[in-house]
Amino acid sequence: MSTQTDATGVHPAAILGSAAGDALAGWSPFARRPGDPFDDLHAQLLPEIERIIAQYEEKRSGLIPLAHLFQDHEGYVSPNALAAIAYHVGETLASVESTISFYTLLFRKPVGKYVIQICRNLSCMLNGADEIMAYAREGLGIAHFETTADGLISYEEVECLAACDRAPCAQVNLEFVYDLTRESVDAMIVAIRAGTYEVKPLVQTAKPGRTWKVEADTGRKSAGALNQSNPNNAGGIGDTSGVQMFDLIVGKVQYESRSNERLVRETQLRPEISGNGHH
């Protein structure tokens, strides 16, 4: 596979003519500008990229392994990496981004050199995970999904890590840590900050922000939620915002129940209202 062609198999220089050819020589079609350091990384990883894709009968299957590969070398799946993956697996950038965004272990923004992931699921909870997590948050001075200001540590509360016999458990850069106590959490944080922790740091090529999650991941709000939300505005089928909207439009309607059937029934009683969106 050559880096000298774009997804259609045509190098940009061929389109722009030979004069542009010199300037574009060695410029992979997904790099942002000539001389981008990503080009060197890409060239270095190319044999591994080709080996990964050759393992599968369809190249799209290489998408997640390539994301792991670039994340291992850049600390996150950078915009350049997304474009490179799209190029190699022959998919659109949108499709690659959509796929990457599905998986919690693929970071779309830079993270700390240490990612601490404490399990919050049932067996750990029964063995004191809530207290351990609160203690860790306090010790780190950050919340779930956040990175310390120095960019060293990211913190996340995750689902069952399959180490329930050693609860509460965690992973640090995907290495298991078992039988957490306040003391072991303290010791872990101290060792990470002192640079003496047993687990190797992740590669970091860009400074992390406060969180690595994009806004939409950190808190969901269903469409149509009103500003004057209240504890009933849970979203979806339990969301009363639709009911409130209805109230605003057609006047006060009494609801004993917040069920969908009720809403449907009320709407059907007023076909002239449901027929057009306003007045």
- Options 204, 222, 267, 274; binder of other proteins; rule CB under 8 A: 222
**CB nearer other proteins, residue 24 or residue 111:** 111
236: left (phi over 0), alpha (psi -120 to 50) or beta: left
- Is 255 a binding residue for other proteins by CB under 8 A? The answer is yes
Q: How far is the CB of 47 from other proteins (least distance, A)?
A: 17
CA gap 216, 43 in Å, rounded: 34
- Is 111 a binding residue for other proteins by CB under 8 A? The answer is no
Question: What is the contact mask toward other proteins in residues 78 to 107, using x (rule: CB under 8 A)?
Answer: -----------x-x------xx--xxxxx-
- Is 236 a binding residue for other proteins by CB under 8 A? The answer is yes
Q: Tokens for 112? A: 């700390």
How many chain residues bind other proteins (CB under 8 A)? 62
**CB nearer other proteins, residue 160 or residue 273:** 160
- Given the rule CB under 8 A, which of 10-18, 134-142, 201-209, 255-263 is the region that contacts other proteins? 255-263
Q: Tokens for 233? A: 């505005």
Cβ(232)–Cβ(247) under 8 Å?
no
**CB nearer other proteins, residue 24 or residue 62:** 62
CA gap 178, 164 in Å, rounded: 9
Instruction: Please give the distance of CA 187 from its chain centroid, rounded to a whole number.
Output: 29
CA gap 25, 16 in Å, rounded: 12
**CB nearer other proteins, residue 16 or residue 105:** 105
**How does DSSP assign 55-120, residue by residue?**
TSSSGGGGHHHHHHHHHHHHSS--HHHHHHHHHHHT--HHHHHHHHTT-TTS-SS---SEEEEEE-
Residues engaged in binding other proteins (CB under 8 A): 55-58, 60-65, 67-68, 89, 91, 98-99, 102-106, 120-123, 125-127, 130, 159-167, 171, 174-176, 220, 222, 228, 230-232, 234-240, 243-244, 252, 254-255, 258-259
